[in-house]
C-alpha cells in the first residue's frame, strides 16, 4: 500500500505544480504528508509518473506534463474518407498531448469562433478503424473500442471482422465552409493537457506550401529525439511514452529545432516517412521500433538481465516462481473462494499453481511467500462481504475461463515452444482474450465502482469466450510438437548464432547434425565465435535452463527449472525451422546468443560436420565487460590521444579490427576438437 500512497502523492504534485521543480522539492512534499520513503524510492516513482517528465537528469529537475505541453501545437491530417464523411477520428492522434486519464473522444476541440465541436457516431470495419488506434497496441485498441461503445463487445471476437462503432468529432460544417481538401491539415494547440482541451484551426497544406528546408530540419530533429527516447526507454513504456520523452528531450537539446511550434508535418506523416521505424508489439503494448529487430525478444532478454520492478512483494515471488499471474488476479480467486465458502488460502494456492511445482530459492523464501499469501487472504477476508458482492456468479465464470487459459499455456510450455509462438496470429488473439479476462477480474475486485465500468454485454459473453479459447487453443496446439516426439531424423541443421544486442550484428552460420548434444554445441559456438571457453554457460528454452552439472553452485535463475545439458540433443529442442533457443556464456559479462534454426537439410557427401559456412565481424575480447564494455573499448582504441589508450591497448594485446572474421581459422579451431 505504501507504493500506491507514494504514487498518488507524486501524481497529485504533478497535477498541481505550476513549474519545474527539483527532486528535493518533491521529497519535501512527500515528507510533509507524513509518508516515510527514501529519496531513491521517490525518484523511482517520479520517473514512472504519468504526470511528470524529467527535464534535467543531471540536476534531477522534473517538469509537470500539464505545463510542459501547455501551448504545444501538433497537426492532424484527416484521411480522404474522413473529409468526405465530415469527421475526424480521435484515436491515438492526441498522443501525448493529452493526459492518459482523458478518453480521446471526450476531449474538447474549440473552433476559432469559440464553438466547441460536437461528436457523433460512425460505423467502420475493424480493418479501417484499427489504423487510428495503431499506437495503442492491440489490447489497448480493444479497450478503447469497449470504452467508446459498449455494443462493440460482441463484435470484438474472432475473426474480428464485424463493423465497430466509433465516436468522432463532427466537422461537416467546418470542412465545407473552409473548402477543406485531401492533404490539408488541422493545427491543434493544447489549452489544457490535464482536461483535454484544444483549440483547432485549419493549417497550411502539407504538400504544396510547406517550407521544404524547415520540414527537413524538423524531421531531422524529430528523428534524433526519437532515437534518444528509444535508447533511453528500451522495451519499457509504449508509443505514448516514447513520444512524450522524445518531445521532452528535444526541448532540452540545443541541436533540435522546436518540435511543438507550428510543426510542418503531422506525426503520422513523419512516421510514414521513416523507412527504418515501425510499430511493433511487446505483449499487449505497442512500441516504435526498428523494422529489422524484434522488441519482443529484446524484452525477454531485458527481463532476464534487468527484471522489472514488480508491483508488490507477492508479484515478485510470482515472477521468480514462473507464475503468469498478478496479485489482482489472486485477489479475484480469493474472493471467489470466500463467496463459495469452505475454502482456505491453501485451496486457492493449489488452484493457482495447478500443474506446476513451486521451487523456492530457500526455506526462508518459501516461508515469506506463505506469510505474504496469508496476509493477502486476511486483507481480502476482512474487506469481503458476500451480501455486498454483485459479481459472485460472473467472477466464477471468468475464473473458470482463466483456469482454462492457464491450462492451454501449460500445454504449450510442456511442448517446449519458445518465442517463435509469438509469430502465430492465433497467439496474438489468445493474448487479447486473456488480457480482457484479466482486466475483468481486476474490476470484479472493486464492487463499488466496477459495476458502472463493466460493459453490460460482458455478462452474456462467457460462452463466446469459452468457445474462442477452444478454437484458438486448437490452432496453437495443431502445429506444436508433442512432448517426447522424436526429433527430426538425422538431418543437418543450419543454425544462425547471433550475439544479442550487437550493433552492427555479430553472427555465425553453422551446419550441425540434429543429433548434436548441447555440450558439443557449446564447444562449436566457442570455436566459431572465437571465445576462449573459460567461463560457465547455459542454454535456455521456455522456462527451462540446461546447464552442465546443474547440481553445482549455479542453478540458473530462481524459480525456473534446470536440467543437465549432457545428452540433450539439439534436435529435441529445435524441431522445425524458425524455432530458437538461447545460449549464454560468462554470467558476469553475460554474452547472450540467439540460436535460430534457419533450415533443415540432408547431409552432403564429402562434407564433414560440424562446419561454419559464414560469419560476420569479430568476437569481443573475453572479460571486457559485456557489450557496453566492448564498445567503450573500441571507442578508446579509436582515439590514441585518450589517456586510457596505452593501458587498454596493452591489456587487449594490440589493435582490434571489429569487422574481421576468419572463416578458415574458425573451422580450424573447431576441427581441433571434433577430428
**Which pLDDT score is estimated for 487?**
46
Tell me: pLDDT of 518 over 80: yes
Residue 365, pLDDT above cutoff 60: yes
The pLDDT score that the predictor gives to residue 554 is: 41
Q: What is the pLDDT of residue 293?
A: 78
What integer pLDDT is reported at residue 615 of this predicted model? 93
> Would you state the cell numbers that stand for residue 372, as one nine-digit string?
505474504
359 Cα distance to chain centroid: 27
Query: C-alpha cell of 424?
Result: 502465430
DSSP assignment of 262-298 equals: S-SS-HHHHHHH-TTEEEEEETTEEEEEETTS-HHHH
What confidence score (pLDDT) does residue 291 get?
83
pLDDT average, residue stretch 618-623: 94
Q: What is the mean pLDDT of the chain?
A: 85
Cα-based angle 497, 503, 508 (whole degrees, multiple of 5):
20
Phi then psi for residue 287, to 5 deg, are: -130, 145
Parallel, antiparallel or unpaired: strands 119-125 and 561-564: unpaired
Mean pLDDT, range 348-373, rounded to an integer: 81
pLDDT of residue 479: 61
Share of the chain above pLDDT 90, in %: 44
**H-helix or E-strand containing 178?**
helix 172-178
Work out the pLDDT band at 475, boundaries 50, 70, 90: confident
Q: For 73-87, 176-190, 200-214, 546-560, which range has the lowest pLDDT when averaged over its residues?
A: 546-560
What does the pLDDT read at residue 95?
A: 95
- What confidence tier does 415 reach under pLDDT thresholds 50, 70, 90? low
Task: Please return the burial class of 252, using the count of CB atoms within 10 Å of its CB with bins 0-12, 13-18 and 19+.
Answer: middle
Q: How far is CA 220 from the centre of its chain?
A: 26
Residues 349-373 have a mean pLDDT of: 80
For residue 341, the SS3 value is coil
Q: What is the pLDDT of residues 233-258, one digit of tens each?
A: 888 889 999 999 999 989 888 888 99
Q: What per-residue string of b and e applies to 9-43 under the rule 16 or more CB within 10 Å gives b?
A: bbbebbbebeebbebeebbebbeeeeeebeeebbb
Q: Other C-beta atoms within 10 Å of 98: how many?
A: 25
By residue count, the chain amounts to 675
Most confident range (mean pLDDT) of 18-32, 141-155, 399-413, 422-436 is: 18-32
Does residue 593 register a pLDDT over 50? yes
More confident residue, 322 or 638: 638
pLDDT of residue 538: 92
Among 465, 468, 467, smallest CA distance to 437 is for 465
Q: Are 249 and 231 in contact (CB under 8 A)?
A: no
pLDDT (tens digit per residue) in 157-201: 766 678 999 999 999 999 999 889 988 999 999 999 999 999 999
Question: Region 137-162: what's the mean pLDDT?
Answer: 81
User: What does the pLDDT average to over 21-40?
Assistant: 90
**Three-state secondary structure call for residue 180:** coil
- Higher pLDDT: 346 or 482? It is 346
CA dist., res. 511 & res. 674, Å (int): 14
Does an H or E element contain 21, and which?
Answer: strand 21-22
Query: Do 259 and 247 form a contact (C-beta atoms < 8 A)?
Result: yes
Q: How far is CA 261 from CA 71, 219, 222, 258, 264, in A?
A: 9, 13, 13, 6, 9
Structure confidence at residue 27 (pLDDT): 93
Q: What are phi and psi of 573, to 5 degrees?
A: -85, -35
d(CA 393, CA 396): 5
The whole-angstrom separation of Cα 332 and Cα 448 is 15
Residue 555 phi/psi, 5° resolution?
Answer: -125, 30
When mean pLDDT is compared across 381-390, 471-480, 576-585, 627-636, the lowest value belongs to 471-480
Query: How sure is the predictor about 460, in pLDDT bands with cuts at 50, 70 and 90?
Result: low
Band of pLDDT at residue 450, cut at 50, 70 and 90: very low
Nearest to 540 by CA among 610, 480, 486, 587: 587
* CA atoms within a 13 Å half-sphere pointing along the CA-CB vector of 496: 12
pLDDT for 416 beyond 60 = no
Q: What is the pLDDT of residue 308?
A: 52
- Predicted confidence at residue 566, as pLDDT, reads 85
Torsion sign (Cα): 477, 478, 482, 487: negative
Q: By percentage, how much of the chain surpasses pLDDT 70? A: 87
Sheet strands (E) in 34-176:
52-56, 61-64, 73-76, 87-88, 108-110, 119-125, 163-170
CA-to-CA dists, residue 645 to 619, 632, 634, 657, 659, angstroms: 20, 11, 10, 15, 20
Degrees to nearest 5, angle at CA 527 with 522 and 530: 115
Whether the per-residue pLDDT at 206 is higher than 50: the answer is no
pLDDT value at residue 486: 39
* Whether the predicted pLDDT of 34 surpasses 80: yes
**Does the structure show a pLDDT above 80 at 562?**
no
User: Residue 274 pLDDT more than 90?
Assistant: no
Q: What 3-state DSSP class applies to 526? A: helix
Range from 65-79, 301-315, 404-418, 537-551 that averages highest in pLDDT:
65-79
Least confident of 70-79, 285-294, 298-307, 330-339: 298-307
Give CA–CA dist 8/22, Å, rounded: 18
Q: How many CA atoms lie within 13 A of 134 on its CB side?
A: 13
* Dist CA 498 CA 509 (whole Å): 9
pLDDT of residue 28: 92
Note the pLDDT of residue 312: 75
For residues 568 and 562, what is the distance between their CA atoms, to the nearest angstrom? 13
- The number of beta carbons lying within 10 Å of the beta carbon of residue 497 is 21
293-329 confidence digits (pLDDT tens):
777 666 655 554 444 556 678 887 887 776 778 898 9
pLDDT classification of 209: cutoffs 50, 70, 90:
low
- Residue 457 pLDDT more than 60? no
Query: What pLDDT is stored for residue 196 in this prediction?
Result: 97
Distances (CA, A) of 160 to 137, 153, 306, 422, 475: 15, 11, 36, 19, 16
Q: Is the pLDDT of residue 226 over 60?
A: yes
Which of 126-140, 194-208, 577-591 is the least confident region? Answer: 194-208
Distances (CA, A) of 533 to 300, 536, 550, 625: 26, 8, 18, 16
Can you list the alpha helix ranges (DSSP code H) found in 447-513? 447-453, 462-478
pLDDT of residue 324: 78
- pLDDT recorded at residue 421: 61
CB distance 499 to 590 below 8 Å: no
Residue 621 is placed in which grid cell?
Answer: 575480447
First to last CA, the chain: 63
Amino acid at each position: 500500500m505504501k507504493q500506491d500512497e507514494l504514487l498518488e502523492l507524486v501524481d497529485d504534485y504533478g497535477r498541481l505544480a505550476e513549474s519545474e521543480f527539483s527532486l528535493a522539492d518533491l521529497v519535501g512534499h512527500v515528507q510533509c504528508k507524513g509518508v516515510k520513503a527514501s529519496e531513491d524510492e521517490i525518484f523511482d516513482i517520479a520517473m514512472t509518473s504519468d504526470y511528470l517528465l524529467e527535464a534535467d537528469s543531471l540536476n534531477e529537475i522534473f517538469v509537470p506534463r500539464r505545463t510542459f505541453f501547455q501551448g504545444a501545437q501538433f497537426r492532424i491530417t484527416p484521411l480522404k474518407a474522413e473529409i468526405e464523411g465530415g469527421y475526424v477520428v480521435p484515436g491515438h492522434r492526441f498522443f501525448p498531448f493529452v493526459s492518459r486519464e482523458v478518453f480521446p473522444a471526450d476531449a474538447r476541440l474549440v473552433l476559432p469562433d469559440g464553438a466547441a465541436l460536437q461528436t457523433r457516431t460512425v460505423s467502420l470495419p475493424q480493418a479501417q478503424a484499427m489504423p487510428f488506434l495503431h499506437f495503442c497496441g492491440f489490447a489497448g485498441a480493444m479497450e478503447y473500442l469497449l470504452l467508446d461503445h459498449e455494443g462493440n463487445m460482441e463484435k470484438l471476437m474472432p475473426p474480428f471482422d464485424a463493423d465497430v462503432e466509433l465516436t468522432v468529432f463532427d466537422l461537416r460544417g467546418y470542412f465545407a465552409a473552409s473548402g477543406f481538401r485531401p492533404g490539408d491539415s488541422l493545427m491543434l494547440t493544447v489549452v489544457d493537457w490535464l482536461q483535454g482541451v484544444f483549440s483547432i484551426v485549419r493549417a497550411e497544406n502539407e504538400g504544396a506550401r510547406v517550407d521544404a528546408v524547415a520540414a527537413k530540419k524538423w524531421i531531422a530533429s524529430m528523428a534524433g529525439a526519437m532515437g534518444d527516447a528509444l535508447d533511453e526507454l528500451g522495451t519499457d513504456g509504449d508509443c505514448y511514452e516514447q513520444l512524450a520523452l522524445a518531445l521532452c528531450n528535444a526541448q532540452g537539446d540545443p541541436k533540435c529545432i522546436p518540435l511543438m511550434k507550428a510543426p510542418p508535418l503531422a506525426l503520422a506523416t513523419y512516421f510514414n516517412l521513416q523507412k527504418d521505424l515501425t510499430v511493433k508489439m511487446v505483449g499487449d503494448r505497442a512500441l516504435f521500433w526498428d523494422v529489422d529487430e524484434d522488441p519482443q525478444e529484446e524484452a525477454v532478454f531485458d527481463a532476464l538481465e534487468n527484471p522489472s520492478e514488480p508491483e508488490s512483494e507477492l508479484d515478485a515471488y510470482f515472477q521468480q516462481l514462473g507464475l503468469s499471474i498478478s496479485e489482482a488476479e489472486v485477489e479475484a480467486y480469493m474472493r471467489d473462494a470466500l463467496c463459495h465458502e469452505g475454502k482456505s488460502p491453501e485451496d486457492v494456492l493449489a488452484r493457482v499453481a495447478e500443474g506446476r511445482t513451486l521451487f523456492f530459492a530457500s526455506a526462508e523464501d518459501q516461508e515469506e511467500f506463505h506469510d505474504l499469501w496469508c496476509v493477502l487472504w486476511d486483507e481480502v477476508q476482512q474487506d469481503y462481504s458476500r451480501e455486498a458482492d454483485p459479481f459472485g456468479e460472473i467472477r466464477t465464470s471468468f475464473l473458470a475461463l482463466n483456469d482454462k487459459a492457464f491450462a492451454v499455456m501449460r500445454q504449450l510450455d510442456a511442448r517446449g515452444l519458445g518465442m517463435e509462438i509469438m509469430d502465430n496470429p492465433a497467439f496474438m488473439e489468445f493474448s487479447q482474450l486473456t488480457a480482457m479476462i484479466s482486466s475483468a477480474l481486476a474490476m470484479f475486485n472493486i464492487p463499488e465502482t466496477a459495476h458502472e465500468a463493466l460493459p453490460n454485454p460482458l455478462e452474456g459473453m462467457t460462452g463466446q469466450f469459452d468457445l474462442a479459447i477452444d478454437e484458438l487453443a486448437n490452432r496453437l496446439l495443431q502445429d506444436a510438437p508433442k512432448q517426447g516426439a522424436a526429433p527430426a531424423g538425422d538431418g543437418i541443421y543450419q543454425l544462425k548464432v547471433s550475439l544479442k544486442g550487437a550493433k552492427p550484428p555479430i553472427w555465425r552460420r553453422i551446419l550441425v547434425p540434429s543429433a548434436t548434444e548441447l555440450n558439443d554445441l557449446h564447444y562449436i559456438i566457442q570455436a566459431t565465435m572465437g571465445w576462449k571457453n573459460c567461463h560457465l554457460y547455459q542454454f535456455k528454452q521456455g522456462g527451462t535452463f540446461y546447464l552442465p552439472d546443474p547440481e553445482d553452485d549455479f542453478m540458473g535463475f530462481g524459480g525456473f527449472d534446470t536440467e543437465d545439458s549432457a545428452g540433450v540433443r539439439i534436435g529435441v529442442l529445435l524441431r522445425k525451422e524458425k524455432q530458437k533457443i538461447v545460449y549464454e556464456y560468462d554470467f558476469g559479462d553475460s554474452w547472450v546468443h540467439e540460436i535460430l534454426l534457419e533450415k533443415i537439410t540432408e547431409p552432403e557427401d564429402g562434407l564433414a560436420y560440424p562446419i561454419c559456412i559464414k560469419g560476420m565481424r569479430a568476437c569481443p575480447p573475453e572479460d571486457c565487460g559485456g557489450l557496453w564494455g566492448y564498445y567503450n573499448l573500441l571507442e578508446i582504441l579509436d582515439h590514441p590521444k585518450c589517456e586510457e589508450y596505452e593501458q587498454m591497448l596493452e591489456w587487449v594485446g594490440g589493435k582490434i579490427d571489429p569487422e574481421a572474421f576468419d572463416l578458415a581459422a574458425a573451422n580450424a579451431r573447431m576441427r581441433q576438437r571434433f577430428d
